[in-house]
Amino acid sequence: MVAQRSIGFGRGILFCRWLSPEALGQWEMVYSFLLLAAPLAVLGIPGSFGRYLEHFRQRGHLITFLTRTAAWTVVCGASAVGIVVWFAPQFSHLLFGNYEQERLVQGIALCLAAIILHHALTSLLIALRLFRVVSAMNFVHSMLFAILALGLLAFNASVSSILIGYGVACLVASLGAIAWVGPGLCQAEQPVDILPQSEFWSRMLRFAFFVWLTDMLAHLFAIVDRYMILHVSGMPSVEALQQVGYYHGSRIVPLLLVSFADMFSGMVMPHLSHDWEAGRRAHVGRQVNFSIKLTSLGMVGFGVGVLLFSPLLFEVALAGKYTAGLAVLPWTLTGCVWFGIYVIAQNYLWCAEHARLAAIPLAIGLAVNIGLNILLLPLWGLYGAVVATGISTLVCLAILLLMNQHHGLKLDRGTWLLALLPATLVVGPGLAAAAWVSLVPFAVKTNLIFTNHEHVVLRRWYRVAKEKIAPLLRLRTPTTNPVTSKIHTS
């Protein structure tokens, strides 16, 4: 995963260096549309894999689950591709502010099909807890995307080159994953009885609909500021796309945090679902609290480092082409950290099968985001759009945490304190670093942040990590009784 993120970061840097701000803004609009359309096209069914695959697997209906959801995904995906091709002029205006990019939109439709396949397989493999396969698939995708896109950009520095590389990489990585796990899935035990369609879909579709609604609101929330810059700011389309390109430059590093939170949330969800089904609901609450704390503390620490080295990033790595992005970086980082915490926290509502409620914070946040953009875009331009997104993200997170608390999640003071910690990034690297460094000793030495149980877990992790790392560093470690050590670790 580290290698994959490193490849993605280097690829993003080269995109910024080789493309003009306008072309980079076009790619940002295309990429944001693909991320929005892929989950919406399949109506949320792959998003429910993490919650319900284990449910049907324990009842002997894994094959039934796989065949029915695969058929659903194929039909919905093909329909979505056809709609984009049929209404190509309208989508061209939506994405680029003109009606002249029909051919590019047709390429976007083909790429959308490959992305739907890739996302559905990723959701399936995560639900099966085959995380090594997911990591390998994502690594192959990232590597191929970098090689193909950068190779094509060397001959034609345009959005179409990146689009071709992205689509082909999704397709090849997906086919490789199918070849890897397909034979094993085909050998799964056949069901002993027939599961009625009504019984299969009734419960799952209710959950999937609200996952779909939540995904739609989440992606709209994540991209609405760019679309408002293009369509509401009053700027000519060329200038608006340049501003979107500057915004993309400021998001290269912060998006690493969001992608980590998405992956971490997907990895945790099947385990939380397993504990919930087993009746260990208090344990699920403790795990969600612990995950929120670790996510916030780690992301804010990373964000402080980004702010400290941001002049070097923008002046050297980005060749000084995106200085407008540097001005909005603190707010971009803050909003991305809050959104990462949100992604982790919403797992509790999903486990409790209150997926429909997860749409409420996003709907309110989206309304706040649109309202603030209408107010701040004419006054501050790009800076106003980024500030609006950051404030509305905090509103979303606060509402979600209150809803979790209402439905049984016992939030302690450490969770609330660390949920507010990202706000320190807005004031600059010096004060943010001071706040983070001051807080860490309290987190380690006192119960201000972590509970007694969480301290026990952290100490156990430290001992295990030390035992793993010590041989690599050729350090002498105390000899322990293997039986006692095994029992203690367990």
pLDDT in tens, 400-451: 999 999 988 999 889 999 999 999 999 989 999 999 998 888 888 888 899 8
Between 181 and 376, name the one with better pLDDT. Answer: 376
Token pair recorded at residue 256: 């690493």
138 and 88, same domain (yes or no): yes
Tell me the pLDDT band of 486, cut-offs 50, 70 and 90: very low
CA distance 398 to 425: 18
Let me know if residue 74 belongs to a domain.
Answer: yes
CA distance 478 to 470: 11
Let me know if residue 226 belongs to a domain.
Answer: no
302 and 426, same domain (yes or no): yes
Within its chain, how far is the Cα of 168 from the centroid?
Answer: 21
115 and 155, same domain (yes or no): yes
Burial class (CB in 10 A: 0-12, 13-18, 19+), 89: middle
**Residue range of the domain that includes 481:** 454-489
99 and 11, same domain (yes or no): yes
Let me know if residue 248 belongs to a domain.
Answer: no
281 and 422, same domain (yes or no): yes
Q: Which tens digits make up the pLDDT trace of 244-259? A: 999 999 999 998 898 8
Let me know if residue 212 belongs to a domain.
Answer: no
Let me know if residue 320 belongs to a domain.
Answer: yes
362 and 275, same domain (yes or no): yes
CA distance 360 to 232: 25
The answer to whether residue 57 scores a pLDDT higher than 90 is no
Let me know if residue 219 belongs to a domain.
Answer: no
277 Cβ contact list (under 8 Å, min separation 6) = 54, 55, 58
364 and 459, same domain (yes or no): no
Let me know if residue 95 belongs to a domain.
Answer: yes
Let me know if residue 234 belongs to a domain.
Answer: no
The answer to whether residue 126 scores a pLDDT higher than 90 is no
The answer to whether residue 484 scores a pLDDT higher than 50 is no
- Mean of the per-residue pLDDT values for the chain? 86
CA distance 236 to 244: 12
Residue 490's pLDDT is: 41
Tell me the pLDDT band of 318, cut-offs 50, 70 and 90: confident
335 and 295, same domain (yes or no): yes
Between 434 and 278, name the one with better pLDDT. Answer: 434
355 and 476, same domain (yes or no): no
* Residue 62, SS3 per DSSP: helix
93 and 5, same domain (yes or no): yes
Query: What is the number of structural domains in the chain?
Result: 3
438 Cβ contact list (under 8 Å, min separation 6) = none
264 and 329, same domain (yes or no): yes
The answer to whether residue 485 scores a pLDDT higher than 60 is no
65 and 79, same domain (yes or no): yes
CA distance 203 to 31: 32
